[in-house]
Amino acid sequence: MTTSSIATLVHPTLRMRAPGLLLAVGIGLLALLLGRWAPLIGGPVIGIVLGIAVRNLLSPGDRYTPGIAFAGKKVLQWSIIALGFGLSLSQVAKTGLESLSVTLVTMTVAFLAAWLLGRWLGVHDKLKILIGVGTAICGGSAIAAVTPIIRPDDHDTAFAISTIFLFNLVAVLLFPLLGHLMHLSDLGFGLWAGTAINDTSSVVAAGYSFSKTAGDYATIVKLTRATLIIPVCLVLAFVVAAREKRKHALEGSVGHFSLASIFPWFILWFLVASAIRTAGLIPVAIQPAIHTLAEFLIIVALTAIGLSANLRKMAASGARPILLGLGVWIAVAVSSLLVQLVIGQL
């Protein structure tokens, strides 16, 4: 059978997506390997940086666009579902309840700071939401989760992720030093790192840099915090639904919009995956492989987002989004310490 005859047997949609998807997977694999070599930076950061570099230096043609778009959306959702298999709800229940008050305060502060500071800086709504969610909950994973709901421009997603990861790297280097200077206890530092640092890998790196006890505690707090992406996604879904209905009403058009069209169904599958993990149905031997798969999928998705990013548009946004990210990050870090001081957990 010739190559051309084999090609005709491939589904047209797959043929259309293959070039861009293979490009994202190839760059994502390189980012995964480089992330192992440079864990403080991490595969997701490297993936999106490589994606942005390829997009703006090599300018892949239009034939790559369908596959890149597919990887940036569908693969992104698959990565969130895969992450659920690594989150045991029973493991985090006790620590989650203990840290919930601090987590809820820091989340509230993050969203309020993003809204107020973003309004003052003139940052548009979708970018404010992305930076606020990324800072409040779990960095790139949270941004990835809300992207299919609010549907921002790809360069906004790339800008938000890059901003969040910039402060992740700073936190890994700065938090342990500040923790020792403030003479925080292991649990106090673990709670601070778990509620104030965005990305899970950065929380783990900072926590264990302080002490093993702090690292263990920070990791559980962070995993509990990550589950709050579910109610946040649901709230955003209802808000988007209400706005769309109002838009159709003002335009006098009927429209075929419904909540089901934007409902984050992948979050339900995330819950199913977490329930399976909690029930002990995932063999211990394959859990590391599932974790690696989840990490690789999100790297591929974020690489694709980088491949969609237009640096000229990002440059047009100026320094305001970075200042927004810095302001929200500082507000969260300070509020976490203040709440612990008030409730006597420092």
Nearest to 304 by CA among 48, 77, 59: 48
Average pLDDT, the chain: 78
Q: Residue 83 is inside which H or E element, if any?
A: helix 76-84
Average of per-residue pLDDT across 226-238: 77
Q: What percent of the chain has pLDDT over 90?
A: 8
Nearest-angstrom CA–CA distance, 290 and 272: 15
Between 2 and 302, where is the model more confident? 302
How many angstroms separate the first and last alpha carbons of the chain? 70
Distance CA 299, CA 292 (A): 10
Q: What value does the mean pLDDT take over residues 269-275?
A: 81
pLDDT of residue 315: 64
Helix axes of 139-150 and 287-307: crossing angle, nearest 10 degrees: 60
Q: In the structure, what pLDDT confidence band is assigned to residue 212 with cuts at 50, 70 and 90?
A: confident
Report the range of poorest mean pLDDT among 129-133, 217-221, 311-315.
Answer: 311-315
Write down the pLDDT at residue 30.
94
pLDDT at 7: 43
Quickly tell me which residue has 């997009």 as its tokens.
55
